Structures are given as C-alpha cells and as structure tokens.
C-alpha cells in the first residue's frame, strides 16, 4: 500500500508556529511594559481592598456602627470641599501604586561568586570522597556540586555559615583521623578564625557543618539561680544543655544556658580539674567557684604561684584559710585530711547509733588549690612531701564527707599531677587556646568544634564525667584589688564577698591551721571537738 503524503500544515507548519509564538510573546511583553502602571495600580487596589476587608472583619460588632458613621462623615467632607474628590482619587491612586509596586525578588540559590566557592570546595573534597572503583562517584573532578551539597547558607559577606554534605557510604567516617582530615579541610576552605561545629550522621552518611556564634563575654560575676550543691562553671550554647538561668548581661536581663557542675554525696564527679595556658582564665574560674561555694559552705584557698590573686577572700566569713607559702599550705592540707577523716568517723558512728549526722559534718568544705605543681617543686627542693600526697584522703573520700577539691594547673605542669589527682578529678575544664590533641588528653574526648587560635580569657571546653564536651565561657570574675579591673567588675565581685570577721577575733584567717589528732572512739559522737570560729579547725588545748 502506497503511503499518503502528510498534510502541508503538519509537515511545514512547525516553523510558522514557532514564529507565531515568538510574535505573541513579544507582543505580550510590549503590552506588559505599556500597561505596567495600570497593572501596578490594580494590584495595589486589590491589596488595599483586602487589607480593608480584614480590618473590617477584625473590628468588634459594637464598634462597626461608629466606624461606619465616621467613614461616611469623612467621605462627605471630602466631597464638599473644593477639589476634594480629585485629591482623594490622587491619594488613593498613589497609595495603590506604592502598595502594588514590585518588591525585591527573594534570591533563590547562590550567586556566581557563591557558586564558584561551592564548586572549589567540591573539588577539594574529591580526593577524600571518591575512589577509582566507584562506577558512579558522588564526588568527581568537574562534577556538579549540587549533588554533594544539598543545603547551604551564606552570610551577607558571602561566607558559608552552614553546609550539609552527602558523602559516599564507603568513607571511613568511624575513624577519628578521617573525620579530622575532612574537618581541617573544611575549616581551611571556609575561612579560619571562626569556630565550626561538625555533626556526623554515620547512619545517613550526612555531615552538617555550622558556624557557631561567639559566646558572650559580658556576663560578670553574680548570684546565679541554683540549688545547694550546684555550681555554674560558665555558659555554653543553647542547643547543648536543657536548662537556662536568668543572668544580668550588661544592663539587660536574659536567660543563658549554663554549664552546671553538681557536687555532694550523690555526685558522680565530686572533684574538678582546670587546665589552661597562662592568662587563660583558670584563676578566674577558681575565684568564681569560691564566691559561689561561700553561699552554703566553707572554703580553703591555697595559691601556689604566690601572686596574691585571692587576697580579696582573706579574712572573710566562711574562708578558713588563704595560704600562699609552702609551710602554711602543708599545714592546711594536713588539717583538711584529718578533717575529712573526722567527718567520716563522726557520720559513721552517728548512723550506727541511729542519729542523723551532725551539722558540722554536713556543711560543705571546699579545697581550692591553684598551681599545685609550683608547691610540689618547692617541696621537693626543701625535702618535704608533695602537697598533692595530702589530697589523697579528700579526693578518695571527699564525696561521702562533703569535701570538694578543685585544682587549677597549667599545661606545662600537667605532668606533675599525681595519679590520684588524675583518677578522682572526673570533672574537667580546658581554658585558653589549645590544640585538639591537648584538649583530648585532658578531657578524654575530642570536641565537636574546631578550636580557634585567639580566644578571650575564660573561653574553653568542659566535660563532666562521661558527658559530652561543651563549649564554655567563664563569667568575668577578676581580682577586685587589681588596678586593671573596671569599676563595674570590681563592684560586682565585692558585692558577692561575705562580711569580714569581727574585730574581736585575734587570729587572722590565713594563720597556720593547727592539726588535731584523729578523732576515734565514742568521743567523736558524745562530745565533738569544739571548732575554732576563725579557721574552722578543732581547737587544741594551747588555743
């Protein structure tokens, strides 16, 4: 059967149809340009009418009558004044033109510069997220970055603030070294000097990189809303903790997420170790802890550097001793060891007798030791025992006796810490600039963020026991007697200090503490030893 030729309109009309479409599109564009003012005014009138209808619907029924009467009166006045209707029409048209104007279109997708930055980052990740055996690689040279970066956000300066990366399943995301290489590359390509948070989702093969905002450094020392046995070490990100406390931040009051350290008989991390560089804020943190501990307990401060950073505490109520020398430090720590034993024996005998523990055994006692490595060096040169050896009893049995130990040391002296100190200080904090390996050596776990080389004093990381690593910013608690301290910070610290001892007291608080004999037998329950009101130690016969 012979084929019949196609109609002419089907065989040769495609060109004319295309030309007709172009002519129609050009005519429509020209008409849109000509009628653009009318379209704008019509859109504005529609928006004004919609707004007026919503306003009328929201008006209560008892007020609609007066509103309608007032509107009619205004219309009547406009109609009666000369040129009133003309002015009203001009005003309405102007308002409609302003309301119906074209807004700046919302940008969807990155611009040319941002797309080039994403493509460069995609190319940099190809050697890590591709292999020659992959028949369909997700990352390949010259490939499309959109399949590897499904979500991204830029700031006003064109720098990445968040990025989601889809990586192949064969990438060794379970190895810390592999993750560290990717994090280092992203930090270098996205800009140094910022702190990045990396969230690895091994199940879905996703990596979310987020630029963290800097923690506030304007929170000064103050009374925090905490329960007895809770101490605020500092403040962290809102997404890291499930609690906030009201704080004064400058002249305003806001809720801030704190890093709360819990001590006491039921605490799993009863002792704290703080490590940092010189000037990183370790002394500031210890001073902040001392001001909070004085609300419900007594403190003993031992400063190994001898710089007088805790002179503001000398002679205050609740401060049993402030020691800077080796002799006083050894005597105070020896008394603290005996006091811990006395509390244990007294509480044990009271429980065996069916009585509650005495009040003097339940009042918290804090031992704050700053720079123990210096004291250890002096003790070794003088042939005396290391002060850290006297901390074995408070560290091992302090939780049951209500004794808490806080140690602050610098990185160059961490090796002088004894095994007992390392074992029983399960609450850790690292302040100041430090590498990931140093942070991991102290906290036992790498942070999920990239530490920056320049940080303000008091900035670092904290980890309580087996919990996660949290960013930390210590509240500003400077020495009020330092000339460099501002008047606002000096007043804030002085307001938190308790009153000084009365003038009737003869002995200063920082005097060497007499060491009593261990309390044993039934006398520990029947007649507890009287306590010296100045130093809190059992009084001897000579006193």
Q: Is 248 found in the same domain as 148?
A: no
16: confidence class by pLDDT, cuts 50, 70, 90:
low
For 208-257, what is each residue's pLDDT tens digit?
A: 999 998 899 999 999 999 999 999 999 999 988 999 999 998 888 999 99
Q: Is 241 found in the same domain as 152?
A: no
Domain count, the chain: 2
**Domain-ending residue, one of 211, 238, 253:** 211
68: confidence class by pLDDT, cuts 50, 70, 90:
confident
For residue 149, the tally of other CB atoms under 10 A from its CB is 19
Q: Is 272 found in the same domain as 326?
A: yes
Q: Is 165 found in the same domain as 203?
A: yes
Contacts for 125-129 with beta carbons within 8 Å, 24 or more apart? 125/165, 125/182, 125/185, 128/171, 128/178, 128/181, 128/182, 128/185, 129/167, 129/168, 129/171
For 320-366, what is each residue's pLDDT tens digit?
A: 999 999 999 999 999 999 999 999 999 999 999 999 889 889 999 99
| Beta bridge mates, 154 | 160
Distances (CA, A) of 169 to 42, 155, 322: 55, 31, 59
Which position has the token pair 């399949």?
147
Residue 525, pLDDT > 60, answer no
Residues near 538 by beta carbon (within 8 Å), at least 6 away in sequence: 342, 516, 519, 529, 530, 531, 532
The token pair that represents 153 in the structure block:
């956000």
Q: How many CA atoms lie within 13 A of 5 on its CB side?
A: 5
Q: Is 283 found in the same domain as 234?
A: yes
Domain harbouring 324, CATH code: 3.40.50.300
Please report whether residue 322 resides in a domain.
yes
For 131-147, what is each residue's pLDDT tens digit?
A: 888 888 899 988 888 88
56: confidence class by pLDDT, cuts 50, 70, 90:
confident
> For the chain, what percent of residues have pLDDT higher than 70?
85
Please report whether residue 37 resides in a domain.
no
Q: Is 342 found in the same domain as 310?
A: yes
Q: Is 416 found in the same domain as 325?
A: yes
Q: Is 475 found in the same domain as 342?
A: yes
514: confidence class by pLDDT, cuts 50, 70, 90:
very low
pTM (predicted TM-score): 0.73
The SS3 of residue 467 is coil
d(CA 283, CA 482): 13
Q: Is 185 found in the same domain as 239?
A: no
Please report whether residue 455 resides in a domain.
yes
* Overall residue count recorded for the chain in this entry: 543
Please report whether residue 219 resides in a domain.
no
Please report whether residue 463 resides in a domain.
yes
Q: Is 235 found in the same domain as 206?
A: no
Residue numbers of the domain that contains 164: 112-211
Beta-sheet strand order (sheet of 230-235):
258-262, 230-235, 470-473, 459-464, 427-431, 272-276, 403-410, 365-370, 298-303, 319-323
Which position has the token pair 């504005």?
44
What was the pLDDT predicted at 528?
41
What was the pLDDT predicted at 103?
61
Please report whether residue 172 resides in a domain.
yes
Q: Is 297 found in the same domain as 159?
A: no
For 426-478, what is each residue's pLDDT tens digit?
A: 999 999 999 888 999 999 998 888 888 888 999 999 999 999 999 999 999 99
Q: Is 409 found in the same domain as 295?
A: yes
């Amino acid at each position: 059967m012979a084929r019949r030729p196609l109609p002419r309109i089907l065989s040769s009309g495609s060109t004319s149809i295309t030309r007709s479409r172009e002519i129609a599109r050009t005519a429509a564009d020209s008409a849109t340009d000509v009628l653009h003012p009318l379209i704008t005014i019509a859109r504005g009138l529609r928006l004004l009418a919609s707004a007026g209808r919503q306003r009328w619907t929201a008006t209560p029924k008892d007020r609609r009558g007066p509103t309608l009467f007032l509107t009619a009166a205004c219309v009547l006045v406009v109609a009666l004044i000369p040129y009133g209707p003309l002015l009203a029409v001009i005003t309405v048209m102007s308002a409609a033109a302003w309301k119906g104007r074209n807004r700046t279109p919302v940008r969807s997708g990155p611009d040319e510069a941002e797309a080039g930055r994403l493509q460069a980052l995609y190319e940099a990740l190809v050697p890590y997220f591709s292999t020659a055996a992959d028949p369909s690689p997700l990352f390949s040279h010259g490939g499309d970055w959109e399949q590897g970066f499904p979500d991204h956000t830029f700031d006003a300066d064109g720098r990445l603030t968040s990025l989601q990366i889809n990586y192949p399943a064969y990438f060794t995301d379970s190895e810390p070294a592999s993750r560290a290489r990717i994090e280092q590359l992203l930090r270098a390509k996205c800009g140094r000097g910022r702190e990045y948070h990396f969230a690895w989702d091994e199940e879905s093969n996703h990596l979310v990189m987020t630029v963290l905002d800097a923690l506030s450094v304007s929170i000064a020392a103050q009374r925090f809303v905490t329960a007895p046995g809770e101490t605020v070490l500092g403040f962290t990100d809102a997404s890291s903790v499930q609690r906030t406390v009201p704080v004064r931040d400058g002249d305003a009051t806001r809720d801030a997420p704190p890093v709360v350290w819990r001590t006491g008989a039921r605490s799993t991390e009863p002792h704290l170790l703080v490590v940092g560089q010189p000037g990183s804020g370790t002394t500031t943190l210890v001073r902040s802890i001392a001001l909070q501990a004085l609300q419900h307990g007594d403190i003993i401060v031992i400063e190994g550097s001898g710089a007088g950073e805790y002179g503001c505490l000398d002679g205050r109520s609740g401060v049993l001793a402030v020691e800077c020398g080796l002799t006083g430090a050894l005597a105070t720590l020896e008394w603290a060891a005996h006091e811990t034993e006395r509390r244990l024996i007294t509480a044990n005998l009271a429980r065996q007798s069916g009585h509650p523990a005495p009040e003097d055994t339940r009042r918290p006692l804090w031992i704050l030791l700053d720079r123990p490595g210096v004291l250890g060096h002096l003790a070794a040169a003088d042939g005396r025992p290391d002060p850290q050896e006297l901390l074995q009893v408070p560290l091992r049995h302090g939780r049951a006796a209500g004794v808490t130990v806080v140690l602050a040391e610098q990185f160059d002296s961490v090796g002088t810490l004894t095994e007992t100190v390392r074992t029983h200080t399960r609450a850790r904090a690292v302040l100041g600039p430090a590498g990931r390996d140093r942070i991991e050596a102290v906290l036992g776990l790498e942070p999920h963020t990239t530490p920056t080389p320049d940080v303000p004093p008091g900035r670092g990381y904290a980890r309580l026991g087996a919990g996660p690593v949290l960013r930390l910013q210590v509240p500003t608690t400077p020495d009020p007697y330092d000339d460099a301290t501002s008047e606002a910070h000096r007043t804030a610290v002085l307001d938190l200090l308790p009153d000084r001892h009365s003038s009737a007291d003869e002995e200063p608080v920082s005097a060497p503490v007499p060491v009593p004999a261990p309390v044993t037998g039934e006398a520990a329950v029947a007649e507890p030893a009287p306590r010296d009101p100045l130093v809190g130690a059992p009084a001897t016969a000579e006193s």
